Amino acid sequence: MTERTELSTLGEFGLIDRLTNTIKCTQTSTIKGIGDDAAVIKYDHKVTLVSTDLLTEGIHFDLSYIPLKHLGYKAAVVNFSDIYAMNGVPRQLLISIAISNRFSLEAIEELYEGLRLACKKYDVDLVGGDTSSSASGTFMSLTVIGEAEEEKVVYRNTAQVGDLICVSGDLGAAFTGLLLLEREKEVFLANPNAQPDIENNDYVLQRQLRPEARKDIIAKLEELQIKPTSMIDVSDGLASELMHICHDSEKGCNIYENKIPIDFTTVKTAEEFNMEPLICALNGGEDYELLFTVDLKDYDKIVQFSEISIIGHITAASEGLNLITNAEQSIELTAQGWDAFKKGQ
Distance (Å, rounded) from C-alpha 316 to C-alpha 285? 26
Adjacency order of strands within the sheet including 164-168: 230-233, 290-294, 164-168, 308-316, 251-256, 321-324, 330-332
309 and 182 in one domain? yes
218 and 129 in one domain? no
For residue 344, tell me if it sits in a domain.
no
- Which residues of the chain have a pLDDT value below 70? 1-2, 7, 11-13, 15-16, 19, 33-39, 193-198, 336-345
For residue 24, tell me if it sits in a domain.
yes
Phi and psi dihedrals of 309, rounded to 5? Answer: -115, 135
319 and 265 in one domain? yes
DSSP-assigned letter for residue 230: E
pLDDT at 35: 62
pLDDT at 16: 67
- CA 12 to chain CA centroid, Å, is 30
**pLDDT tens column, 27-76:** 888 777 666 555 677 777 788 888 889 899 988 999 989 999 999 999 99
For residue 192, tell me if it sits in a domain.
yes
What is the model's pTM? 0.87
pLDDT at 338: 46
Summary count for the chain: helices (H), strands (E): 10, 13
For residue 180, tell me if it sits in a domain.
yes
The domain total for the chain is 2
pLDDT at 340: 45
**pLDDT tens column, 202-213:** 999 999 999 999
302 and 177 in one domain? yes
93 and 65 in one domain? yes
- What is the Rg, in whole angstroms, of the alpha carbon atoms belonging to the chain? 21
CB 174 within 8 A of CB 286: yes
Count Cβ atoms within 10 A of the Cβ of residue 224 and give its class: 0-12 exposed, 13-18 middle, 19 or more buried: middle
DSSP string, 5-39: -BGGGTHHHHHHHHHHTT-----TTEEE-SSSSS-
DSSP string, 314-342: EEEGGG-EEEE-TTS-EEE----S--TTS
179 and 115 in one domain? no
Q: Could you say which of 122, 152, 182 is where a domain stops?
A: 152
CATH number of 275's domain:
3.90.650.10
- Burial of 131-164, coded b for 16+ CB within 10 Å and e otherwise, reads beeeeeebbbbbbbbbbbeeebbbbbebbeeebb
For residue 337, tell me if it sits in a domain.
no
127 and 23 in one domain? yes
User: Which domain, by its residues, includes 266?
Assistant: 164-332
DSSP string, 259-274: GS---HHHHHHHHHTT
For residue 114, tell me if it sits in a domain.
yes
Distance (Å, rounded) from C-alpha 48 to C-alpha 99? 30
CB 117 within 8 A of CB 14: no
Count Cβ atoms within 10 A of the Cβ of residue 211 and give its class: 0-12 exposed, 13-18 middle, 19 or more buried: buried
175 and 122 in one domain? no
176 and 256 in one domain? yes
For residue 51, tell me if it sits in a domain.
yes
265 and 231 in one domain? yes
Distance (Å, rounded) from C-alpha 175 to C-alpha 283? 9
Residue type, 10: L
